[in-house]
Structure 1
Amino acid sequence: MQPKSLRTLLTFCVLFATVSLHARQETDLPITIQADSATVSELEGTSVYRGNVIIEQGSLRITADEILIESQALRPSTIVAKSIDETTGHARFEQATQGTKGNILAQGELIRYNVNLEKLEISGQASLTQGLDRYEGDNLSYDLPKGLLAVHSKDDADSRINLTINPKPGKP
């Protein structure tokens, strides 16, 4: 591998490791929830929040018409946010990141976030913006610790994905 390519690869890995480390540090912060109603089942380890739901923990913010939180050992393990009414907009996931990649803003009709694995799955007019880069498709998955992003279109011939990837500042 060329020295410049190795340096670029190492920089890329350090950036994504920084994003993951920042997210892990925030899991010990308190969670605040605002909603019109809530149904909590301690026995099943689930809670459902309905009506203009806003969940925040540190720099993480998730908004949707309805949010389901599944817990294990009294800690959130999966968060499912969905848009029920098209007029209210999409479910949204926002998280500040450390490093130069930029903050994450994801939206779609349905967002599933695996808290333990730090993986996002977005479906239905899915989009993800990080810094100046933008990814759009019908379905999108993002593994934050690995920096692995997959974007898929619908199966019909007219559906395509759209990507905007900006050059990184630095020496040529």
Structure 2
Amino acid sequence: MKPVSNLAGRLLLLSTLVLGPALPALAFNLDSNEPIRVTADSARLDDNQGIAIYRGNVEVRQGGILLTADRVDVHRNAQGLDRIDARGQPATYSRPATETEGPVDAKALLIHYSAPDNLLRFEREAVVKQGGDEFRGAVINYNTANRVVTGEGRTAEGEGSGRVEMVIQPRGNNSGNNN
């Protein structure tokens, strides 16, 4: 059996290597010198299967960016990061404002990231807020390469209200109101 400190060090190193170079700007800042840190109540690394599983009060953090969940599975293949699956009641994601975009706060029972598809998927009771804009639905997809948000009212299993709600705020108050 390996010492706990050695296992913890390997898990942190694997997380940094797996998560660091492949997540999109929405999820983590790839150009940042800050490491990505994963903390949890327990962790399991399976080098043969290319998976790290974190359970209990999981936090994935890089600077002000934070993903929280009850469980996070990080999958890798020969090319590096393949996907991340987060589950929670709800799982949450937050990113502070950037120079070009407002802050992002999101929650869903399931949050998936697919590196090959450049896709963040918020599933089941999904809510994504950016600035004053809000997207709600059973499924909300964010294509990180094309910066396109789509919503679905039902999951593939038929869960959800069948409706999607998007609230888009006006760009400014310069519509002739000069009091």
The answer, yes or no, to whether TM exceeds 0.5 is: yes
Whether 1:122 aligns to 2:90 is no
Counterpart residue type for residue 136 of structure 1: R
Call closer, same or farther: CA 1:117–1:29 in 2, change over 3 Å: farther
Task: Tell me: CA distance 1:107–1:156, structure 2 relative to 1, closer, same or farther (3 Å).
Answer: closer
- List runs of 5+ in structure 1 lacking aligned partners: 1-18, 84-88
CA, structure 1 residues 53+20, in 2 after alignment: closer, same or farther (shift >3 Å)? closer
Instruction: State TM-score, norm by structure 1.
Output: 0.73
**Root-mean-square deviation over aligned CA pairs:** 2.9
Q: For the residues of structure 2 that align with 1:158 and 1:128, how far apart are their CA atoms?
A: 17
User: Would you say the 8 A contact 1:139–1:151 is kept in 2?
Assistant: yes
Give the alignment partner of residue 162 of structure 1, picking from 148, 162, 165: 165
1:7 corresponding residue in structure 2:
none
**Aligned twin of 2:91:** 91
Q: Is the 8 A contact 1:105 1:129 kept in 2?
A: yes
Count of matched residue positions in the alignment of Structure 1 and Structure 2: 149
Q: Deviations over 1:5-57 (max 9, x none)?
A: xxxxxxxxxxxxxx949955347642211111111111221000111111112
C-alpha distance in 1, partners of 2:108/2:146? 22
Tell me, which stretches of 5 or more residues in structure 2 are unaligned? 1-23
Evaluate the alpha carbon distance shift between residue 26 and residue 61 of structure 1 in structure 2; reply closer, same or farther with a 3 A threshold.
farther
Could you tell me how far apart the structure 1 residues matched to 2:77 and 2:113 are? 14
| Amino acid of the structure 2 residue aligned with 1:95 | R
Deviation >6 Å, runs of 4+: none
Q: 1:54 to 1:156 in 2, by over 3 A?
A: closer
CA distance in 2, matches of 1:72, 1:30: 21
Counterparts in 2 of 1:18-167, with a 5 A limit?
A: 20=25, 23=28, 25-26=30-31, 29-72=34-77, 75-83=80-88, 89-115=89-115, 118-154=118-154, 159-167=162-170
Higher relative contact order (CA 8 A, sep 6+): 1
